[in-house]
Structure 1
């Protein structure tokens, strides 16, 4: 049985589909509702490292907050983008699944199967 963490938003259909897929695969799941329990800088840095992506790759760039905060500005540093996700968790792409010291974004939900 796999121990899996999912950064979950129950209002998001992809997040719910990914959670259901993990349940179907008999995973032992820790559900973290990141809008209620915001992620720290260290946790976000760890997830980015496991995903091997730049911060914008795990940000919801179509959210109004992304535009309002000017986050498309190329001169912003990694630290500034991570801080924006700490301050505004809604900007974080969802769901994110951690398993076996790896991470995957559940878009599409089946993409998380590769790390189980």
Structure 2
């Protein structure tokens, strides 16, 4: 199984989730999304595996969320993914993606929803 972590090493929650994944004996593919932003195609794959709404990928605090009008409920998932592609700081980190599922892992315990083997680690 491949586990991908969209990671920001400056974020404590992201560092904790990385440690939890590794404690479960899994070495994830770590994507430092601010240094290497995901492409729109990468975001489409991520969105196709989400177990939560695409809107949950958006981070509001410290981002151009309000300035871009992303609080508009009429925006489509494609609009939201386009915004993340253009402004990767909008990605609500950390995001964990497996072969079957993906979700933002804030709080860190939501990791167990898609990676139950991390629970006992």
Q: TM-score band (shorter)?
A: 0.7 to 0.9
Contact 2:58 2:92 in 1 (8 A): yes
Residue ranges of structure 1 left out of the alignment (5+ in a row): none
- Report the CA distance shift for 1:64/1:32 in structure 2 as closer, same or farther (over 3 A): closer
CA offsets 1:84-115 (integer angstroms, 9 cap, x no match): 10010000111111123211321121221332
User: CA RMSD for the aligned pairs?
Assistant: 1.7
Contact 2:51 2:103 in 1 (8 A): no
Say whether residues 1:109 and 2:100 are aligned partners: no
Say whether residues 1:33 and 2:32 are aligned partners: yes
Partners of 1:30 and 1:64 in 2: CA distance: 25
CA offsets 1:31-77 (integer angstroms, 9 cap, x no match): 11011111112221221221143332110123340011111123323
Q: Which has the higher helix share?
A: 1
The TM-score with structure 2 as length reference comes to: 0.84
Q: Which has the higher strand share?
A: 1
The TM-score with structure 1 as length reference comes to: 0.87
Contact 2:6 2:96 in 1 (8 A): yes
Partners of 2:53 and 2:113 in 1: CA distance: 20
Number of aligned residue pairs? 115
Could you say what secondary structure the match of 1:21 adopts? helix
Could you say what secondary structure the match of 1:37 adopts? coil
Partners of 2:73 and 2:109 in 1: CA distance: 32
Counterpart for residue 99 of structure 1: 98
